[in-house]
Amino acid sequence: MICAGTGCVANGSLKVKDALETELIKRNLQKEVKIVLTGCNGFCAKGPVMVVYPEDIFYQLVKPEDVPHLVEEHFIKGRPVQKFLYTPPADKNTIPVMNDIPFFKHQVLRALRNRSLIDAEKIEEYIARDGYMAAAKALTEMTPEQIVVEMKKSGLRGRGGAGFLTGLKWELCARVSGDIKYILCNGDEGDPGAFMDRSVMEADPHSVLEGMIIAAKAINAHYGYIYVRAEYPLAVQRLQLAIESAKDHGLLGKDILGTGFDLDLEIYQGAGAFVCGEETALMASIEGKRGMPRAKPPFPAVKGLWQRPSVLNNVETFANIPPIILHGADWYASLGTEKSKGTKVFALSGALNNIGLVEVPMGTPLKTIIYDIGGGIKNNRKFKAVQMGGPSGGCIPGSLIDTPVDFENINKTGAIMGSGGMVVMDETTCMPAMAKFFLEFTEDESCGKCVPCRIGNKTLLTILQRITNGEGREGDIELLLDLSQQIKDTSLCGLGQTSPNPVLTTIKYFRDEYEAHIKEHRCPARVCTPLVKFVVDQSKCKKCGQCFKACPAGALKWEKGQVAYIDPEKCTKCKSCIKACRFWSID
Amino acid sequence: MAKLTIADLKKIKEDYHQGLREGGFRVKITVHMGTCGIAAGARGIMNTIMEELAKSNLKDVAITTSGCAGLCSQEPMTTIETTGQPPIKYTALTEEKMRKIFAEHVVAGRPVTEYALVAGHETTY
């Protein structure tokens, strides 16, 4: 890895690269040692710098004339050259570099490769980062079959959540004959706590367009839609601009890049219904009908939009495609696990110190994502669980924090990979109340077409409401489990088939909390107001007076050195005191 | 606009990189303006930079925007890159911080360590 940031290039890193290439050929090592140019490492003052893997040895201040000696010692004799080894600066008062900061250190950007590097509204900046070169390659050098083969070989699986092999989806559609086919992009990101697709559309809209051009060639489509929810105005605006400027430059429309291939793309703004993220509902919505799913088969690859063969891929999936075509399937598959290749973008939110958007290789342990990249739990609280996959997913408890994050291992926990939302919870979250929150969401968003989803989810919600209200009955847990399974088995589409997952996983991992609510009329996290007594536990109270300062109703009695007391007459049960108490001493 | 050919794509890329090297810009300031950045006040930071630039009469500073830089909870953020130096990311900016950064890093070429989060590019291979 040779740094090709502006600093190192100014110091001659490209000359070092040339010298290294020459020397490796001379020594017949060119097949064993691969040279990669990287972005700036942050060590410009010590440039040109390079890192040698797998040993992770960092060399600084390398000059072209040093290269023969370095190759001789390092690659032939296998001993690092002391003279060029990096020595950490003694001065503590310097700005840390990427590798010093866990948030950046563990990330590898592929779908987000242009993050913070380009202006989304300038097509030249995208082109300058190899933009549209993959489309050019696909349109001039590759047959549709070759594109499909490359995609299948790369192992890329749909990033919308279900993880279907992208190349296989394209192959199914490519095989169907038909003069009109459609290529569709799913930007109807609707999971609470998920904002991966929005960010890609805002920061790098051309990467989505380029992915769609390649897919269109593979299935022979000449028309397509990008379905984006209207709540993403900036994404819509930047995509629109990208489409217009791509058309102006002959990268969309008729005869793209003079290759004779045509593709027109149009944005369709959705009204923000969660169910429209389901493929058949999305297509119905574009057709101007109510966004409701239909039974499959026929699958969209055979009969999709307006009964024509169609392929629908997620935003992040499309953004991954250009580098696969450009660098090859083997390059893509070099990261990840056996069945989940490449990287995945996650939106971190909830009780973490670092809220944001991250991209990590598949198989990265959950622990690394939460503690290293996410910076651990806010306010020194304990990690309780993470909800993955939004309302369709489930929670993964603290005991499974070593789980490698890929499709298979996440499925084993009962959660799903989903589109990439990770909502992290600490011990102040009540799990039955959390399940209730998601059921409120799915009950609201159910389109109502099939009975299990429409009435089943409503019933699940009713049971959860009575549990969190302190009116839970003996047998409610069993009823929830039984009903959940039936909803999963009999619902028409993905919404109903997955909506009980938050209930199932919270019961699986936090059954004791459900039992505490039902049998002891107690909410261990002090979230469910009807179950909180608002009494200070004398043995736990540290007499600090924080609750007294927080109470807006004048219900707290406290004096320095005295245990606090809550006046039930004045208490409005707002829970300000519970939030303020650091010792869990209010029950 | 004339339709591009594949040769044009390569030329745009080369011209762009050459322009960066020889375009006479000593400093490039990128304001991160995804929804998260804008919500946290990136437009105000952008205005501050424009004001300071106008006051300074510098002609070798380029201002540009990009999307979300990943650390949404620490927006507004900017990245400042000066010739021969690593790009520096500044986080949780206010207008006062930005004015100080402009005076010290952009004008005088000394990065402001106390507001800087990190130096360098992210791993993209």
| pLDDT digit string, tens, across residues A184-217 | 999 999 888 899 999 999 999 999 999 999 999 9
Query: Chain A partners of B6 at a C-beta cutoff of 8 Å?
Result: 136, 140, 257-258
ipTM: 0.92
Would you identify the CATH topology of the domain B24-119?
Answer: Glutaredoxin (3.40.30)
Confidence bin at B22 (pLDDT 50/70/90): low
Q: What is the pLDDT of residue A92?
A: 55
Side chain identity at residue A388, one-letter code: M
Phi, psi of A311 (to 5 degrees): -120, 130
Side chain identity at residue A333, one-letter code: A
Nearest 10 degrees: CA dihedral of A313, A315, A316, A317? 20
Q: What is the pLDDT of residue A36?
A: 80
Report residue A208 as tokens. 């989505």
Which domains, from first to last, does chain A contain? 2-99 (3.40.30.10), 123-330 (3.40.50.11540), 343-426 (3.10.20.600), 431-519 (1.20.1440.230), 533-587 (3.30.70.20)
Strands A343-350 and A421-426, how do they pair?
Answer: parallel
Does the distance separating the beta carbons of B65 and A121 come in below 8 Å? yes
pLDDT in tens, B51-78: 999 999 999 999 999 999 999 999 999 9
Q: Which of B22, B83, B118 to mutate to test the interface with A (most CBs of A within 10 A)?
A: B118
Distance from CA of B93 to the nearest CA of A (A): 16
Strands A421-426 and A383-388, how do they pair?
Answer: antiparallel
Distance in angstroms (rounded) separating the CA atoms of residues A493 and A447: 10
Distance in angstroms (rounded) separating the CA atoms of residues A227 and A135: 21
Report residue B85 as tokens. 């130096």
Q: Which of A36, A43, A60, A95 to mutate to test the interface with B (most CBs of B within 10 A)?
A: A95
Does the distance separating the beta carbons of B65 and A10 come in below 8 Å? no
Does the distance separating the beta carbons of B2 and A119 come in below 8 Å? no
Q: Which residue among A38, A109, A124 sits closest to B16, beta carbon to beta carbon?
A: A124
Does the distance separating the beta carbons of A108 and B125 come in below 8 Å? yes
Q: Which residue among B9, B30, B116 sits closest to A127, beta carbon to beta carbon?
A: B9
pLDDT in tens, B71-115: 999 999 999 999 888 899 999 999 999 999 999 999 999 999 999
Does the distance separating the beta carbons of A127 and B13 come in below 8 Å? yes
Distance from CA of B57 to the nearest CA of A (A): 24
Query: Chain B partners of A41 at a C-beta cutoff of 8 Å?
Result: 86, 120-121
Distance in angstroms (rounded) separating the CA atoms of residues A100 and B103: 27
- B6-9 own/partner pairs: CB under 8 Å, 24+ apart: B6/A136, B6/A140, B6/A257, B6/A258, B9/A127, B9/A131, B9/A132, B9/A133, B9/A136, B9/A257
Q: Smallest Cα–Cα separation from A223: which of A264, A272, A187, A184?
A: A264
Distance from CA of A108 to the nearest CA of B (A): 5
Query: Chain A partners of B72 at a C-beta cutoff of 8 Å?
Result: 355-357
Does the distance separating the beta carbons of B73 and A354 come in below 8 Å? yes
Burial annotation A304-332 (CB, 10 A radius, 16+ → b, else e)? bbeebbbbbbbbbbbbbbbbbbbbebeeb
Q: Smallest Cα–Cα separation from A277: which of A290, A293, A288?
A: A293
User: Under 8 Å CB-to-CB from A270, ≥6 apart: which residues?
Assistant: A188, A227, A228, A229, A230, A276, A282, A285, A291
Q: In chain B, whose CA is at the least distance from the CA of A140? A: B6
**What distances in angstroms separate CA A28 from CA A72, A252, A381, A511, one per listed residue?**
12, 44, 56, 63
Q: In chain A, whose CA is at the least distance from the CA of B72? A: A356
Query: Chain A partners of B92 at a C-beta cutoff of 8 Å?
Result: none
Q: In chain B, whose CA is at the least distance from the CA of A127? A: B13
Does the distance separating the beta carbons of A94 and B113 come in below 8 Å? yes
Pick out chain A residues at pLDDT < 50. Answer: none
Q: What is the pLDDT of residue A467?
A: 98
Burial of A553 (0-12, 13-18, 19+ CB in 10 A): middle
Q: Smallest Cα–Cα separation from A274: which of A421, A481, A386?
A: A421
Q: In chain B, whose CA is at the least distance from the CA of A204? A: B67
Q: What is the pLDDT of residue A48?
A: 85
Inter-chain contacts counted by CB atoms under 8 A, chains A and B:
188
Residue pair A2/A13 in contact (Cβ under 8 Å)? The answer is: yes
Does the distance separating the beta carbons of A354 and B71 come in below 8 Å? yes
For residue A361, list its beta bridge partners.
A343
Distance from CA of A327 to the nearest CA of B (A): 10
Q: What is the pLDDT of residue B25?
A: 85
Distance in angstroms (rounded) separating the CA atoms of residues A113 and B123: 8
Distance in angstroms (rounded) separating the CA atoms of residues A384 and B6: 53
Instruction: Report which secondary-structure segment, H or E, holds A197.
Output: helix A196-203
Query: Chain B partners of A39 at a C-beta cutoff of 8 Å?
Result: 120-124
Q: Which residue among B3, B72, B89 sits closest to A357, beta carbon to beta carbon?
A: B72
Instruction: Report which secondary-structure segment, H or E, holds A425.
Output: strand A421-426
Q: In chain A, whose CA is at the least distance from the CA of B20? A: A6
Q: In chain B, whose CA is at the least distance from the CA of A354? A: B73
